[in-house]
Amino acid sequence: IQAKRRLDYQPPHFFISTVDLSVKLEDPKTQVKSQLKVIRNGEHRHPLVLDGEELPLIDIKINANSVTRYEQTPTSLTLENVPDEFYLEIYTEIDPASNSSLEGLYKTENAYCTQCEAEGFRKITYFIDRPDVLSEYSVTIYADQKAYPYLLSNGNKVDSGKLEDGRHWVKWHDPFKKPCYLFALVAGDFDLLEDHFKTVSGRKILLQLFVDKGKAKRGKHALTSLKKSMQWDEEVFDLEYDLDIYMVVAVDFFNMGAMENKGLNVFNSKFVLADSESATDEDFFNIESVIAHEYFHNWTGNRVTCRDWFQLSLKEGLTVFRDQQFSADMSSRVVNRIKNVKVIREHQFAEDASAMSHPIRPDEVIEMNNFYTVTVYDKGAEVIRMLHTLLGQQGFKNGIDLYFKRHDGQAVTCDDFVSAMQDANQVDLSQFKLWYSQSGTPVVSVKERFDDATGEYILEFQQINAPTADQQQKQNLHIPIRLEFMCNGEKPSAELFELKQGSQTLTKSGFTEKPTVALLADFSAPVKLEFDYTVDALLKIALQSQDGFSRWDAGQKLFSEYLHGKTPAGSTFKVSLRDIDNLINGIFNDKQADTDWALLAEMLTLPNIETLAQQVSRYYVVELNKARKELESHIANTFSANFLLIYSESAQSGYKYTATQVNKRKIRNLCLHYLAKTDIGDKLVSEQFSASSNMTDSLGALKAAQSALLPCFERLMSEFEQKWADDPLVLDKWFALHASSEIPDILARLDLLLSHKQFNHDNPNRVRSVIGTFAFYNPTGFHAIDGSGYKYIADYLLKLDARNPQVAARIVTPLSQWKKMDEARAELMKHQLTRLLAQPNLSKDLYEKVSKSLS
């Protein structure tokens, strides 16, 4: 198996200016006829090489004449001595019903649907399947009218008709040139929700949302979110929608969240369907954010796309940054920032510390689908955010304007993006660009000195870029560090420090006493910070900083250090239980807090075990988990009166997805989480569960019961199961709660879940909710010292890999991250990885991740 390298990029030998596709949907054989206008790129004599996978070729013609001389391999079709410009007709047959990889054209329970990014188009027809080949598409779809009344593709519907045999056809034309990964086709019977959006220039856009029959009322929130996104992009980035129609289809079988196909987004139904009874506030939030993300891709991804897949962060990092800014504007900026930072610290730091470490612009790839990672997406967004921090909102906007002015309609690189930012602002970003090529989490180590006599305060910064699995040599990065100085009786002052060298000093004078400094405010760079804060300083920042993020972060630091101090990892910070009590007392007494319930809830939440694991070089899973549980119990019992008071104050009637209501439910369920660990827990949790008429509060009760191992847990879970027996999307929450339960016989429980009548091994949502949740979020079960958890996952992956390699390769992640574990567990994990690697016909997806983790 061969890796592709970024530096080997060569422009395509041929372009394809137009594509005329005709797809006749039928079981088991779907006929695909493709007519391509092929144009040689420059003067050369290379053959035309087309990509294609598992494609039975029926016929092939050049300028209407059948071709007999061609070379076919399992992944390509080569034609020698072709003209400089010609029409190529290719006729293939595929079987969507047996395509369980959910890539290419596949058939779900009641619909046909495509997923082409990254390299799925080659499973539909022979093509030059790379993002720098841009073509104008016409697509005609034929299918049985009764079973498939809606036949959809990109762009505008231009014609349609009926055939005599009960079949019908629809023809689509997309006027915008696009790479084949943005092609989409959907056929099915749906409920349709319609709305309109009037653009800033006065054009009326038809919005259509297609959902499973009977689910129309759950689609309203997605449509509202779409309109908000369209308006936000006009207001903030002057970006207007370009086609006259925008369609979104929700499907049940989908490998990831959603896909931004031009004019025809395809979504995992999980990110579309919501109403108060069946969806949580978090679901509502995620829908708004994923709808926005895919919509924003219309400019950052579709109008300007990637030259090659190594540039993926060009569109993903930027689009994640845009959706984060949007979410922040829709609700609370601070709470959203906390959310983003949690993802980085919990998942991205783990990836950087693993064998899969890679820069946001990878250099080597075996299976592209393995690189849709938290590094490319979320660290990518942090890199864009740093540009935004360094250039300011206006400077950033000027850069974006220049980027579109230069590159609209093109397939470009990350360097092109940075150049636009640089030229629009006349700054030198050459050192900054290293963030694109260098992997790993930088450590910024800071020391302070204060001179009583002169009033001078000195901060000595050092950056340490340690070697990673993929890269030995590192260079110094350009790291923006926000600081806040706090002095007694004065208004805190903020400042942006740019760390560019290995060591650098910042000197401030004029202090009458040693200031308290809060470093890395707003998480201004994706780094780990080392600084010997005093406990008093952390308490002061946590309770008095002007910056909500810094307050939360200081509290998290106190919790973390206290917890590590309880394990063999230890801590040099001497945080006592008294300090924790002081912190929590302070948080409760804080006047600002009751105006922002959501931030209060964040401040009172302990870092999760996965985040704690990333703060130390050795992960003592059992000890850490125990310490964390004990601390939660302590907090619950020491502050039960406070929790109870807020619990009753935050009660509300009726459900609306508004910031005020969401924040109240959030603090209320946090209080319940703690109160569950007191002696009124069982009663209170049962009461909330019975009284609740919305999913947020019902699930809040179940989660509280699970985490406190309450007697009522099993009973409430079966009530829930009965109520939602026919709704697998809702049952996913139930599956996941069971799978993350830290009960002794967890593997037997998993077996039961897998044989549940709503479980379906071919549905990625189901597989993720049971198998994924167990591997990622059941520390005691997964890391059981007898290795049974690891074996369970490996056994499952051996079967899953043959059906759906993409999903298998995602779920192997926790197993591959064995480096931080103790020797015994590390050996057991490696043993399972070795078993996987020995599997004949292992997919490229799993091969890449498993082999890396063992080398």
Nearer to ligand B3K, 319 or 605 (CB): 319
Q: What does the DSSP 8-state code read for residue 140?
A: E
Q: For Zn ion, what does the binding mask look like between residues 270 and 309, x meaning CB under 5 A?
A: ----------------------------------------
Give 256 or 338: the residue with its C-beta nearer to ligand B3K: 256
Rounded Cα distance, 353 and 820, in Å:
9
Strands 204-211 and 245-251: parallel
Asked if 285 interacts with ligand B3K (CB under 6 A), we say no
Q: Check binding of 367 to ligand B3K (CB under 6 A).
A: no
CB atoms within 10 A of CB 796: 20
Catalytic residue positions, numbered? 294
For ligand B3K, the binding residue among 139, 249, 256, 350 (CB under 6 A) is 256
Binders of ligand B3K among 257-276, rule CB under 6 A? 258-260
Tokens found for residue 29: 């054989």
From the list Zn ion, ligand B3K, none, partner contacted by residue 233 (C-beta under 5 to 8 A by kind): none
CB of 296 to ligand B3K, least distance (A): 9
Does 848 interact with ligand B3K (rule: CB under 6 A)? no
Characterize 634-660 residue by residue with b for buried, 16 or more Cβ atoms within 10 angstroms of its Cβ, and e for exposed: ebbebbbebbbebbeebeeeebebeee
Return the one option of ligand B3K, Zn ion, none that residue 281 interacts with (CB less than 5 to 8 A, by type). Answer: none
The continuous run of DSSP H or E covering 434 comes out as: helix 434-437
Residue 608's nearest CA partner among 645, 556, 549, 673 is 556
For residues 251 and 781, what is the distance between their CA atoms, to the nearest angstrom? 32
- Minimum Å gap between C-beta 312 and ligand B3K is 8
Cα separation, 281 vs 125, whole angstroms: 42
Give the closest residue to 131 by CA, choosing from 420, 454, 479, 413. 413
Output the smallest distance, CB 246 to ligand B3K, in A. 15
CB 528 within 8 A of CB 553: no
Any contact of residue 632 with ligand B3K (CB under 6 A)? no
* Residues 93-132 within binding reach of ligand B3K (CB under 6 A): 117-118
Selected from 369, 438, 463, 741, the binder of ligand B3K by CB under 6 A is 369
Output b/e per residue, 500-510; b: 16+ Cβ within 10 A: eeeebebebee
Q: Which is nearer to ligand B3K, 376 or 520 (CB)?
A: 376
Stretch that binds ligand B3K, among 291-299, 493-501, 571-579, 582-590 (CB under 6 A): 291-299
Closest separation in Å from C-beta 372 to ligand B3K: 5
With respect to Zn ion, which residue has the nearer C-beta, 319 or 832? 319
The interface partner of residue 369, options being Zn ion, ligand B3K, none and the CB cut-off 5 to 8 Å by kind, is ligand B3K
Q: Does 293 bind ligand B3K (CB under 6 A)?
A: yes
* CA–CA distance, 839 with 849 (Å, rounded to integer): 14
250 part of the interface to ligand B3K, by CB under 6 A? no
Q: 697-711: buried (b, 16+ CB within 10 Å) or exposed (e) per residue? A: bbbbbbbbbbbbebe
Report the residue number, 150 or 310, with the smaller CB distance to Zn ion: 310
Least distance to ligand B3K from the beta carbon of 637, Å? 44
Please state the closest distance from residue 295 (CB atom) to ligand B3K, in A.
10
Q: Report the site for Zn ion in 303-332 (rule: CB under 5 A).
A: 316, 319
- Min dist CB 260 to ligand B3K, Å, is 5
Positions in 155-214 near Zn ion (CB under 5 A):
none
Q: Which residues contact 451 (CB under 8 A, 6 or more apart)?
A: 457, 458
Length of the chain in residues, anyone? 855
Give the burial string for 544-557 (b: 16+ CB within 10 Å, else e). Answer: bbebbbbbbbbbbb
Strand (E) or helix (H) holding 640: helix 640-649
Cβ proximity to Zn ion: between 381 and 601 the closer is 381
Quote the distance between the C-alpha of residue 203 and its chain's center: 32
Q: Which residue has the tokens 């439910």?
A: 665
Applying the rule CB under 6 A, the residues between 700 and 719 that interact with ligand B3K are none
CB nearer ligand B3K, residue 100 or residue 544: 100
- What's the one-letter identity of residue 750? L
> Total binding residues for ligand B3K by CB under 6 A?
12
Query: Which residues would be at the binding site for Zn ion (CB under 5 A)?
Result: 316, 319
Query: Which residues would be at the binding site for ligand B3K (CB under 6 A)?
Result: 117-118, 256, 258-260, 293-294, 297, 316, 369, 372
